[in-house]
Amino acid sequence: MKVIYRDKIVDRSDVQIDIEDRAYQFGDGIYEAVCFYQGKLFTFDEHIDRLFRSAEKLEIHIPYSREKFRELLEELIVKNNASSGIIYLQVSRGTQPPRSHIYDEDLECVLTGSLVEKERDTNHIYNGEKAIVLPDERWLNCDIKTLNLLGNILAKKKASRLGAYEAILARDGIVTECSHSNVHIIKDGVFITHQADNLVLHGITRKVILEIVQQLGIPIEERDYTVEELKAADEVIISSVVSEATPILQIDDKQIGNGKRGPITAKIQTAYEKRIEKECGITL
């Protein structure tokens, strides 16, 4: 397999990460996940812009241009002869011996990237999933896409053990997001989602869906909403690069709506697919 290492495409076996790398020792770094369909990147600019925003907030200097990132990602797809899937990018603050909580300010970051081939799981997207509600025990800067995902991992694992696809997280009764996706509800024709503050990741798929909802003329409320509102919703949608816009049909032991994909969710999904086709110049 070919991977990205710093500013080149190399064989995976040729990559060596130092034991003193701060990503390994402290989770001191950021990441992004960019989807591609039939060899074409989707929402590349939005993901790379967020990568640079996360880096700026953590004072990590990325020496590569956005144009260089596009060149690397497109080359990675070609050299792996891949069709559809996800490219994961990781930026470590760098290597700093000896181990210290106080980071040097002139470290050279380490960029790595790998590709996972994955076809669209339309059965999952169209037919929906189950979720559970768990306490949101993560830190208070969830808008930064860092490598520190232990809270997310533990929540996702608990959901999996209970036969659920996703864990929906809540702080003091207020729904924030999920273990690896944003969550939105529809009630009486209104699309409701948590505001883009420090308690949620500002999802790129969330951004696209909000644009679609506005284009469809559906009223939008970006606000706090409770677990009670979540379970009383007419429709519930989770969104991410993998899930796109997936309906949640059951939360804990409560059925959502009639237990099937709702009409507004279906409209959003159709429009989302058209957005992919237009941006990538393909037919799904």
Q: What is the pLDDT of residues 201-220, one digit of tens each?
A: 999 999 999 999 999 999 99
* pLDDT number for residue 60: 98
C-beta of residue 132 within 8 angstroms of C-beta of residue 98: no
* pLDDT number for residue 71: 98
The domain defined by 123-280 folds into D-amino Acid Aminotransferase; Chain A, domain 2 (3.20.10)
* pLDDT number for residue 244: 97
Give the residue numbers annotated as catalytic, written as ranges: 31, 145, 177, 201
* pLDDT number for residue 283: 97
Query: How far is it, in rounded angstroms, from Cα 73 to Cα 71?
Result: 6
**CATH class of segment(s) 2-119:** alpha beta
* pLDDT number for residue 276: 98
Interval 25-46: pLDDT, tens: 999 999 999 999 999 999 999 9
What's the pLDDT band for 163 if we cut at 50, 70, 90? Answer: very high
Give ranges for CATH 3.20.10.10 in the chain. 123-280
- How high is the mean pLDDT of the chain? 97
Interval 87-110: pLDDT, tens: 999 999 999 999 999 999 999 999
C-beta of residue 47 within 8 angstroms of C-beta of residue 33: yes
Q: What is the mean pLDDT of residues 136-146?
A: 97
DSSP label of 260: S
* pLDDT number for residue 33: 98
* pLDDT number for residue 51: 98
Q: Please tell me the pTM assigned to this model.
A: 0.96
Give ranges for CATH 3.30.470.10 in the chain. 2-119
Beta strands per DSSP E along 136-200: 166-171, 174-178, 182-187, 190-193
The percentage of residues in the chain with a pLDDT greater than 90, rounded to a whole number, is: 100
Beta strands per DSSP E along the chain: 2-5, 8-11, 29-37, 40-41, 85-92, 110-117, 129-135, 166-171, 174-178, 182-187, 190-193, 220-222, 235-240, 244-251, 254-255
* pLDDT number for residue 134: 98
